[in-house]
Amino acid sequence: MPRYKVIFDTDPGVDDAMALRFLTRRPEFDLLAITTVHGNLDVDTVTRNALWLADWMGLAAPVARGAATPLDRPAGLGAPHVHGANGIGDLTLPQSMARASDPRPAWQVIVDLVRAHPGEVTLIAVGPLTNLALALRHDPAIAGLVAGVSIMGGAFGTRGHAGNMTPVAEANILADPEAADAVLTAAWPVTLLGLDVTQQVVMDAAYLDRLGAQGGTDGTFLRAVSRFYQDFHERTRGLAGIFAHDSLAVINVIAPELFTRRRGPVRVVCGGIADGQTIQKPEGALCPPSPAWDPYPSQSVAVDVDTAAVLALYADTFLAS
């Protein structure tokens, strides 16, 4: 079985927590670090959440506090209405953490680990991309040293999945469009798992109930943490379940065959009414040459997904043992 050395860059977050538990249950992964970033809530809160999750899951990997604000704009307000006031579905957390964060900033941890394991580290990013952009800013050469970058973010309009914050912008990208554009135009291999596929994968109430009833301690946690998130989806969309979102960036690393991809440079709109929009120029597109697109590397955008297989892979990870 192949082993994937990974750094999990996150702003936990209910779906972040569910993705992290899936990652740490899979024998294919060697988790090198968890790095936190502003997004679902402020960076202090999400770092506390990451420390608690790492302690509760018994993880040896360090947790490093990351960027508190986007590269070039103020921090957003977060999404307590989506993930709960504490970001973890309003589960009760201890007053004090059993472990401390790594003294290095997240970008430094990313650089250090990529340098220590050239060609071996995959970055899994499920929040705003500020930490990855800062790592590139401080050491651009790491782009040539990573094995891959798997990102949950963006929306390209496939099957009507065009945006969840504005008509065109997805939350992780809109939280720091300048960072996203820097990351997506860098010369490292990126796969973008956007709303085009994450909103095709719905964990419905019966699925979540089954995890809770048959998945042991982990299943109990997954069901408990998802209840607030499910309530949000029911109130706003009439959806009796939740979108899998962040877990797809993890699944992409070990089961890429479950996704259909489209290749081509990807840019992010920075400013204006389309702020945060992700746009791809597909390879072979009949467009005139343009300096806005042609100098940049082709990246992979997931445009379809084997929903049943993804749901089975996630559930079997907790129910098979």
Concerning whether 209 is annotated as a catalytic residue, the answer is: no
**Identity of residue 56:** W
Mean predicted confidence (pLDDT) in 179-188: 98
Given the residues 11, 16, 102, 246, the one annotated as active site: 11
Could you tell me the pTM of the whole model? Answer: 0.98
Question: pLDDT tens across 63-105, in order?
Answer: 999 999 999 999 999 999 999 999 999 999 988 888 999 999 9
Concerning whether 245 is annotated as a catalytic residue, the answer is: yes
Given the residues 38, 161, 233, 245, the one annotated as active site: 245
Pairwise CA distance, residues 122 & 89, whole Å: 28
Domains of the chain in start order, with CATH, are: 4-319 (3.90.245.10)
**In this model, does residue 321 exceed pLDDT 70?**
no
Would you state the pLDDT for residue 247? 98
